[in-house]
Amino acid sequence: MVNNWIESIKQNLALVTALIVCAIWGETFVSTKILLEDGLMPSDIFFYRFALGYICIWFFSYKRLWADNWKDELLLIALGIMGGSLYFLTENMALMYSTASNVAILVGSTPLITAVLLALFYKDERMCTRQMIGSVLAFSGMALVILNGQLMLHLNPKGDILALCASLTWACYSLIIKKLSRNYNALFITRKIFIYGLLSILPYLWIESPLLVDINVLSKPAVWVNLLYLGVVASMLCFVAWNWTLKRLGTVRATNIIYLQSFWTMFFSYLILDEHITLMAICGTATLILGMYMAGKAAT
């Protein structure tokens, strides 16, 4: 009886944690937009936020340097690429060839792609009919929130394929971390993700986009405050928390919560950037919440 009660508390704590993480990640689009307006490139933002995240997490996870075996170390390298450099590159390159709405919606399909992959590899993570209906409803609501009054989407094959690749890389990240979280704690895994994400982005910085090191830009309050927020809060704290919730809630249930990021992005854009919210976005939010409630209820 006591064990059930404790487990229930842990599950609820994990759910609240996942909701907080999604709210923070939803706001990161606003912080990123501010940094871009101040002259930083997307690759600069990625490098500095992961570097800050790595420096901070080192103080809490420094004793263990390597995984138990070389196969697990290779999986950790894959996590750093899938959840870091490759995800960043495919998402940002997609924005070069397609519209922001297209990219946001296609990247937002991550929970559905994750559910399909998990169903193929893990029998215990297969979605029931009600979960699937709820997930589709949540995806539809997320799309309406992103469109926010727009009625047309324009197909851009090259950009749209890159956006789907970004979604697929995060789905693979979720798949790999499910395996590793059985033997390693969230702090160790997150630290390895940061270092391998940084190492794997170096060729891109060397060839395509040299790292910005202009002290006049980096010393601006709007720049260093947002970089600290992205590195310490949105990267270090949120990656650790998210990796923990994936283990506690199950990958499908936790990943479905990602749909809420679109709502939080809309909310913070309205609050900070003074962007408008339409009736379509409000209806989308209601649909999104209904879908998540159905999927979550079926999973409990």
Rg over CA atoms, the chain: 19
CB count within 10 Å of CB 238 equals 22
- CB neighbours of 22 closer than 8 A, spacing ≥ 6? 257, 258, 260, 261, 264
The pLDDT value given to residue 114? 83
Instruction: Dihedral sign for Cα 66, 254, 259, 159, please.
Output: positive
Backbone dihedral region of 71: left (phi > 0), alpha (psi from -120 to 50 degrees) or beta?
A: alpha
How many alpha carbons fall within 13 Å on the CB side of residue 128? 8
The pLDDT value given to residue 72? 95
193 domain-assigned = yes
Portion of the chain with pLDDT greater than 70, in percent: 92
What is the Cα–Cα distance from 114 to 116, expressed in whole angstroms? 5
14 domain-assigned = no
Q: What is the mean pLDDT of residues 70-97?
A: 89
Portion of the chain with pLDDT greater than 90, in percent: 33
Q: What is the mean pLDDT of residues 98-115?
A: 75
Domain count, the chain: 1
Looking up tokens 């979550």 gives 296
pLDDT exceeds cutoff 90 at 92: no
Q: What is the mean pLDDT of residues 49-70?
A: 90
Please state the separation of Cα 136 from the chain's center in Å: 19
DSSP string, 100-123: HHHHHHHHTTHHHHHHHHHHHH-G
172 domain-assigned = yes
pLDDT tens sequence across 203-255? 999 988 899 999 999 999 999 999 999 999 999 999 999 989 988 888 878 88
12 domain-assigned = no
Is pLDDT larger for residue 145 or for residue 78?
Answer: 78
Is pLDDT larger for residue 77 or for residue 164?
Answer: 77
152 domain-assigned = yes
Looking up tokens 């912080």 gives 31
73 domain-assigned = yes
pLDDT exceeds cutoff 90 at 129: no
The pLDDT value given to residue 234? 92
16 domain-assigned = no
Query: Can you read off the two tokens belonging to residue 231?
Result: 């590195």
pLDDT exceeds cutoff 90 at 147: no
pLDDT tens sequence across 19-35? 899 889 888 878 888 88
The range of the structural domain enclosing residue 234 comes to: 23-299
3 domain-assigned = no
The pLDDT value given to residue 101? 64
